[in-house]
Amino acid sequence: MRKLIILKSLIDFVWILTCIPLIPMVLFFVVMAFMDADIIRVLPGLGQEEDQITGWPVKITILIGALVIYINIYCVYLFRKTLSYFQKVKPFHNEVITNFGIIGKFLCYSGLVSLILAIVFAVYFKSEIKINLGFSPYLFITALGLFFMVLSEVFKVAKHAKEENELTV
């Protein structure tokens, strides 16, 4: 139980200090990127050509990146909610299983879209293609999403076994 309290405290800490301030900051940055193209120059690795920075591909990429950030924030929110069910000793609640499935799907989408954005960013702005066979955060996020999907299925099977066991007694 102590580990669960530590985990919930860490997730709450991340939620309060990172996720909540990130929501308006990302929205502000996206709005400013559409209004004033000079703010886009703060992103690392961008070329200095004016038509490359003010083009619609850049703005669409920023918009998709912001959507990915919001999806990840929503996943943290769902995980916090799921941990509160664990603290209430309701690990087989339907919402826990649903939340694990949603977190898994969203993290998989987030990882794959981030990977595609990174490739587009490298090709469009840096005019280079690199293949990295080592550790990649995009693949890690996708693997984490698959883990949550498997966890959802495991909890679904365990809930069914628990209900069957209660009926036979």
72-107 pLDDT per residue, tens: 999 999 999 999 999 999 999 999 999 999 999 999
Q: Which residue has better confidence, 111 or 128?
A: 111
Average pLDDT taken over every residue of the chain = 87
Q: Which residue has better confidence, 11 or 120?
A: 11
Q: What is the mean pLDDT of residues 34-41?
A: 72
Local confidence band at 45 (pLDDT 50, 70, 90 cut-offs): low
Q: Say how many CA atoms lie within 13 Å of 94 toward its Cβ.
A: 0
What does pTM read for this prediction? Answer: 0.86
Other residues' Cβ atoms within 10 Å of the Cβ of residue 142: 19
Most confident of 53-62, 119-128, 139-148: 139-148
Q: What is the pLDDT of residue 49?
A: 53
Other residues' Cβ atoms within 10 Å of the Cβ of residue 103: 25
- Structural domain count of the chain: 1
Q: What is the pLDDT of residue 36?
A: 75
Q: What is the pLDDT of residue 37?
A: 67
Range of the domain at 130: 2-168
